[in-house]
Chain A
Amino acid sequence: MIEIEKVSKAFEQKQKKSYQVLDDVSFTIKQGEFVSLLGPSGCGKSTLLNLIAGFEKSYSGTIRVNGEPVKGPGAGKVVVFQEHGLFPWMNVLDNVAFGLKQQGIPKKKRYERALEGIKSVHLSKFIDRYPHELSGGMKQRVAIARALVMEPDILLMDEPFAALDEQTRYILQKDLEDIWLKTRKTVLFITHNIREAVLLSDRVLVMATQPGRIKKEFVIQAARPHQAGDPLIHHYENKIMETLTEELEKVVREEMGHDYRLEKNAVPSLPDHDLGIGI
């Protein structure tokens, strides 16, 4: 269980006033729930994950994991990073067994458990390969196995599939859902991909940007496993898109200037696009 209460965070900037990343964010993730945090880039979703993981400190408000305030990174809450973060000098087996080694588990036993974990992500053939010999999708599978073998209460996933190609991403999403259905871990999944969020989650929290706060919450009431063709899934996708458009506009304006309007530019409303009115 993750409880977040009135969390705010600002980064100090040189010469400028401090930059407010998170403003009064509150939500709770129940035991065994799969929750996605969705938002445009720069909305502070990764910062929030880093706070929960214990990588970053100095914030106001309270973050409790299983009822206890977060003190630092630890084995109870494991992170899957966007750039896998595997150790290049270790083969797949040693990478997966690394966390178990830190817990002082004897060699034979930790290799057994690591093998089991590698099997669950379908990489048994590659245990003696080094990370640079694997494809992006395989690396991310190893990272997931490495997280799962530690048997954490909470899995924190920071845009784990963002760097993958569409097909690989689709397969990994399916596999992740399978794994989750089997293990029922509490998962906080960070993404900027609406479809991914809806396909995987029980609940999607849409974030507003500058400063980051929770804008709206969607409970995905579709049958598991979620199907991409399910009309209900489409319905949620559209709903979330509507909510996000406003935020996207904010981001785009920040980058391109204040006269930019997403609505006007997105819809074919140029004078010569008369949509056949004159027929």
Chain B
Amino acid sequence: MGYRVFDWGWKFPSPLQTAEAFVDGFANGHLFGSILASMRRLLISFVISILLGTGLGFLFARFRFLDETFGFLVVALQTVPSIAWLPFAIIWFGLNDTSVIFITAIGATWTMSMASRTGIAQISKIHLRAARMMGTGNGLKLFYQVMLPAAFPHLITGVRVAWAFAWRALTAGELIGRGLGLGQTLQDSRDIGDTATLLCVVIIIALIGTISDHFCFKRLEDGIMVRFGLHAAKN
């Protein structure tokens, strides 16, 4: 690995070196393993934050006193970079996966709950009335059959932003955490001065982010928007 560092006078890798690092990294399985480990952490915390955020948003939209008391707290928490919670997490859970998952989830939950609150608060009264009139009652049936789909355009925006926030928090957490992962690979490569691998990881993160946004969320969003008639279908 090390030779790549010394035959280049710059502290930034050449395209050739980066390509070489790519091939090497995937050939010995190190990069691929890191991607898998990071994705696993990311998905776990993402699911947690989406569920938690949607639930919180629902409570804020439904109970005004909660919104008036704890609502501003969510805004305040949203402005705190989630990495600021890492020292806490390390004290609570130790320097392990749980800590990283914890701060990743925290990073995405608040923005998701804000989106969910807006989405649910903006459901038209007439839809809720129509639903109750047709017998959904006021409970769970109303929530998943009417409120969730009615709030979907807002929720999906929340999900997209939450995904980006989760990536940020994850990489930051992994830089400090131990084990296998993209963040750890960054840290290790810095320790040995391997700028080519550093750039590789950055490119990989950007690629995964773009691909997942484009192929999952954007597709989903477009589909929903067309269905709701919010923008005209592309011909």
The yes or no answer to A167 lying at the interface (CB within 8 A) is no
Interface size class of A (residues with CB under 8 A): 20 to 34
**B227: contacting residue among A73, A81, A103, A130, CB under 8 A:** A130
CB–CB B146/A79 < 8 A: no
**B126: contacting residue among A78, A83, A133, CB under 8 A:** A83
CB–CB A87/B129 < 8 A: no
CB–CB A102/B141 < 8 A: yes
Instruction: List the A residue with the shortest CB-CB distance to B233.
Output: A133
**Bound-complex Cα distance A72 to B128 (A):** 13
**Bound-complex Cα distance A79 to B129 (A):** 9
- Chain B residues with Cβ below 8 Å from A99 are 134-135
**Bound-complex Cα distance A103 to B133 (A):** 12
B177-206 contacts to A, CB under 8 A, are none
Q: How far is the CB of B129 from chain A (nearest CB, A)?
A: 5
Instruction: List the B residue with the shortest CB-CB distance to A143.
Output: B130
The yes or no answer to B229 lying at the interface (CB within 8 A) is yes
- Chain B residues with Cβ below 8 Å from A55 are 129, 132-133
**Bound-complex Cα distance A50 to B133 (A):** 11
* Also in contact, A89 and B133, with CB within 8 A (given A81-B126, A130-B227, A130-B229): no
CB–CB A103/B150 < 8 A: no
* Also in contact, A73 and B133, with CB within 8 A (given A85-B126, A89-B150, A89-B152): yes
Interface size class of B (residues with CB under 8 A): 20 to 34
**Bound-complex Cα distance A99 to B132 (A):** 10
Q: How far is the CB of A80 from chain B (nearest CB, A)?
A: 10
CB–CB A87/B149 < 8 A: yes
**Bound-complex Cα distance A79 to B125 (A):** 14
The yes or no answer to B70 lying at the interface (CB within 8 A) is no
CB–CB B227/A88 < 8 A: yes
- Chain B residues with Cβ below 8 Å from A85 are 124, 126-127, 129-130
**B135: contacting residue among A83, A87, A103, A131, CB under 8 A:** A103
A50-100 contacts to B, CB under 8 A, are 53, 55, 72-75, 77-79, 81, 83, 85-89, 98-99
CB–CB A88/B146 < 8 A: no
CB–CB A89/B134 < 8 A: no
**Bound-complex Cα distance A72 to B134 (A):** 11
The yes or no answer to B136 lying at the interface (CB within 8 A) is yes
Among B131, B141, B152, B224, residue most surrounded by chain A Cβ atoms (within 10 Å): B131
CB–CB A133/B133 < 8 A: no
Instruction: List the B residue with the shortest CB-CB distance to A91.
Output: B227
**Bound-complex Cα distance A81 to B69 (A):** 35
- Chain B residues with Cβ below 8 Å from A53 are 129, 133
Q: How far is the CB of B161 from chain A (nearest CB, A)?
A: 22
Q: How far is the CB of B37 from chain A (nearest CB, A)?
A: 37
**Bound-complex Cα distance A98 to B136 (A):** 9
Residue ranges of B at the interface with A (Cβ–Cβ < 8 Å): 124, 126-127, 129-136, 141, 145-146, 149-150, 152, 224, 227-229
Q: A55-B132, A79-B130, A88-B229 are in contact. List 8 more A-B contacts (CB 8 A).
A: A53-B133, A74-B133, A87-B149, A98-B134, A102-B141, A130-B228, A132-B228, A150-B134
What are 19 of the A-B contact pairs (CB < 8 Å)? A73-B129, A73-B133, A74-B133, A74-B135, A75-B135, A78-B134, A79-B133, A81-B126, A81-B129, A85-B127, A87-B146, A88-B228, A89-B149, A89-B150, A89-B152, A89-B227, A98-B131, A130-B227, A133-B229
Which 8 residue pairs across A and B have the least CB separation, nearest first? A132-B229, A99-B134, A102-B135, A85-B130, A85-B126, A73-B133, A73-B132, A89-B149
